[in-house]
Each structure stands twice: as C-alpha cells, then as structure tokens.
A and B are shown apart, each in its own frame.
Chain A
C-alpha cells in the first residue's frame, strides 16, 4: 500500500499553466515592491525631515533682553538661536547689526552684550533685564546660570527665570516678556501707566517708577529686594 500511496501522490503534479501564473504573479509582486521602495524611502526621508525640522524649529526657551532695545531670542533644544524679535525701534536697530541666527545662545548673548548699543546703554547706567522664559524641559535653568555668570560684572543688570504661563499675554500686548513682567509689577502697585508709555520707556525708567511707588508705600521693600524673589528661580547680578 505504501507503493500505491507513492504512485498516487506522484500523479499529483503542478500544471505548466499553474507554474507560469505563479512566475508572472511573483514577478509582478517583486516589480511592485521595487517600485514602492523609492516611494517608501522618500516617505521615510520626508518624515525624518519634518520631524527634524520640528525638533529644530520648536523653541524650548526664550531669552528676553531689555535695556532700552527690547529683543527676544528663541532658543531650540539644541541651544541654537532660531528666531529673533524686536519689540521697539531700538530693538530693531540692534537686530540690524546682529548676525546671530542659528548660532549658539552663548555666542549670540556675548555678541549682544558686546554690541555698541548695549555697551553704550550700560555705560549710561541703564538697567539691563534678562528674562529666561522656560517653555520646555530643564534648559531654562542652564541658560539662566550662564546669563547670570555673564552679567555679574554689571552692577545695573539682573536676570531671572519665568515660566511661559506667567507672561502668556506679553506678545498680545506687543511687549517683550521682560517688559511685560515689569508692567505687571507696576499694575500690582496700582501705578497707572499706558501700554504705549511702557513700550517707549526704558527699563531703568520703569524700574525707577516702580521703586518710587514702593518707597512711598508703608511697607515698600524696593525692587532690588523684592524682584526676582517672587519667581520660580531668580538671580541678581549684585
């Protein structure tokens, strides 16, 4: 019976037509896969490019520098400056002289601090305020430490860290984050001042206004003592 089984099974053979159809079907599938390969590669490349662009062009911290020029530097997770914004005419004039886009924030900050406009302002005893707005992860702490170290030689300079929630309305009002923070302080002290005035005034003038009000108040503590301490993290150059 084993012989019969073998003989019977031997009768079962693949027809030439079936083989031919298989050949054609497999060739077609391989052809499709070959065609799809560059398409898939292009899709992967596109996805990688989009993801890489998103990673690079998403700001994770903002450096708001106010002295009289009010400017902001958007910094990405790779510590690169990806955007620059001016919030007054002096700020625009300062940005015209800078070429810091896509540089590291350390290099950009040094360039700004060494610029003629900022050194002139500092020599005129203007007040320099640097706000580090943390949008994502722990980068803000590192930037704040760096800025604090850089400005410690200037007596009339201070820096502090804030979260984006605290200053969410700043740009809607056309103010830099640093100036908006001071504007909120003025409002807290019931000082009536228009937005346009805030935009025009220097940081020193605004700070003097605030100090004046605080000194007049019965328990006024003065800005040097009270500023920054209300925030999540803060450093003072003095």
Chain B
C-alpha cells in the first residue's frame, strides 16, 4: 500500500488529467467524484512500482478510462446524450470562444473522443495510444482519421486553423 505522501503527490500531479478524462466521458459531476475516488484508491492499493513517471501517468490514464467505461456500461447509465446535454456541459465548464469546437468533440463517438484527447492534448503518438488502450496501432490511426473527418464535417471547414482536422499524424503504413 502506498503512503499518504504518495497519494498527495498523485492527486497533485494527476487530478487535472483525471478530471479532463472524466469530462470527455461523463457529464455528471457526482460520477466524476466517484471516478476520482476509484482511481486514487486503486493507485494507493496498486502494489507494483512504476518504472518511470510516464509509465505512472499512462497507468493513471488507463485506470481512469476503464473506470469511466465501467460506469457508462452499468445498466442505469445506459442512456443517450442529447445535444442539449452537450451544450450544457460545455457552457458550464468551457469559455464561450471554445464552445463550438468542444461541442463538436463531445459529439464524436466515445472512442474517437478518447484518441483525440490523448493525441492532441496529452501528445501521445498513435503507437503509444495503442499501448495505453490495448488497441492495434492501425486501429488507432483509423480512429484518428475518422475523428478528424467527423470534426471537419461538424465544423463545416469554417473554423480557423485546420491542424486538428488535418492529417498531421496519418498512418505511415
């Protein structure tokens, strides 16, 4: 079992990452709180040592995604998210200037949102994302490309800057 100091360090270091992952998966604040407790309790109880800080962060991301998936899979959570829900979620947490883009991101299928976040925000490459999500690298490339196309379609190409909709990390194969 990890010490109190290690828990404190993990909360300081990874709270924002966990919160962002919750944001792209969930829309309920109470659920976010549940995920926080699950992730950090698992961290404290996790017996193995992490080889590097990157390894530790990847573990936190993986555990958070799994916890979100488990929550969404549960019987009582099986409900579709309406466009109004998305707008509310964005308007309450994100400044207005980013709302169009973030609503478009939230409208993406769950697995596409995940790879977009990991690639564009956390800066992971497709092979790294494949390792974290236990997916084939080509599958990750495909998901990234489809997510970009969907975003392009949703934003109508009128958005300033096209990096996220472009293909600067396309499948080398």
Which residues of chain A have a CB within 8 Å of any CB of chain B? 1-9, 11-14, 18-19, 21-23, 25-27, 29-30, 33
| Complex Cα–Cα for A4 and B35 (A) | 27
A-B contact pairs, 19 of them (CB 8 A): A1-B160, A2-B120, A2-B164, A3-B161, A3-B163, A5-B98, A5-B120, A5-B121, A8-B101, A9-B20, A18-B36, A19-B11, A21-B33, A22-B11, A25-B37, A25-B41, A27-B4, A27-B7, A29-B37
Residues of chain A contacted by B37 (CB below 8 angstroms) = 22, 25-26, 29
Pick the residue among B1, B16, B120 that contacts A14 (CB under 8 A): B16
Residues of chain A contacted by B145 (CB below 8 angstroms) = none
| Complex Cα–Cα for A3 and B121 (A) | 9
Q: Is residue B8 contacting chain A, with contact meaning CB distance below 8 A?
A: yes
8 closest residue pairs by CB, A with B: A8-B98, A14-B15, A2-B163, A14-B19, A1-B164, A1-B161, A22-B36, A25-B37
| Complex Cα–Cα for A153 and B167 (A) | 99
In the complex, how many angstroms separate the beta carbon of B17 from the nearest chain A beta carbon?
9
Q: Is residue B74 contacting chain A, with contact meaning CB distance below 8 A?
A: no
In the complex, how many angstroms separate the beta carbon of B110 from the nearest chain A beta carbon?
16
In the complex, how many angstroms separate the beta carbon of A34 from the nearest chain B beta carbon?
9
| Complex Cα–Cα for A8 and B11 (A) | 22
**Cβ A26 vs Cβ B15 within 8 A:** no
Residues of chain B contacted by A2 (CB below 8 angstroms) = 120, 161, 163-164
CB closest chain-B residue, reference A3: B161
Tally of contacts, chain A with chain B, CB under 8 A: 89
Residues of chain B contacted by A8 (CB below 8 angstroms) = 94-95, 98, 101-102
Q: Is residue B140 contacting chain A, with contact meaning CB distance below 8 A?
A: no
> Contacts A2-B163, A9-B117, A12-B23; is A22 near B102 (CB within 8 Å)?
no
Residues of chain B contacted by A18 (CB below 8 angstroms) = 15, 19, 32-33, 36
**Cβ B161 vs Cβ A12 within 8 A:** no
Q: Is residue B162 contacting chain A, with contact meaning CB distance below 8 A?
A: yes
Interface string of B37-56 (1 = CB under 8 A from A): 10011001100000000000
Pick the residue among A4, A9, A21, A30 that contacts B44 (CB under 8 A): A30
| Complex Cα–Cα for A18 and B45 (A) | 20
CB closest chain-A residue, reference B32: A18
Residues of chain A contacted by B143 (CB below 8 angstroms) = none
| Complex Cα–Cα for A21 and B41 (A) | 12
Which residues of chain B have a CB within 8 Å of any CB of chain A? 1, 4, 7-8, 11, 15-16, 18-20, 23, 32-33, 36-37, 40-41, 44-45, 93-95, 97-98, 101-102, 105, 116-117, 120-121, 155, 159-165
CB closest chain-B residue, reference A30: B44
In the complex, how many angstroms separate the beta carbon of A105 from the nearest chain B beta carbon?
47
| Complex Cα–Cα for A19 and B33 (A) | 9
**Cβ B16 vs Cβ A12 within 8 A:** yes
CB closest chain-A residue, reference B97: A4
**Cβ A11 vs Cβ B16 within 8 A:** no
**Cβ B120 vs Cβ A11 within 8 A:** no
| Complex Cα–Cα for A9 and B22 (A) | 12
**Cβ B19 vs Cβ A12 within 8 A:** yes
**Cβ B41 vs Cβ A29 within 8 A:** yes
> Contacts A18-B15, A22-B36; is A4 near B23 (CB within 8 Å)?
no
Pick the residue among A1, A19, A29 that contacts B163 (CB under 8 A): A1
In the complex, how many angstroms separate the beta carbon of B21 from the nearest chain A beta carbon?
10
Pick the residue among A5, A11, A14, A26 that contacts B41 (CB under 8 A): A26
| Complex Cα–Cα for A3 and B160 (A) | 10
Pick the residue among A11, A25, A27 that contacts B93 (CB under 8 A): A11
**Cβ A1 vs Cβ B165 within 8 A:** yes
In the complex, how many angstroms separate the beta carbon of B120 from the nearest chain A beta carbon?
5
CB closest chain-A residue, reference B12: A19
In the complex, how many angstroms separate the beta carbon of A1 from the nearest chain B beta carbon?
4
| Complex Cα–Cα for A3 and B117 (A) | 12
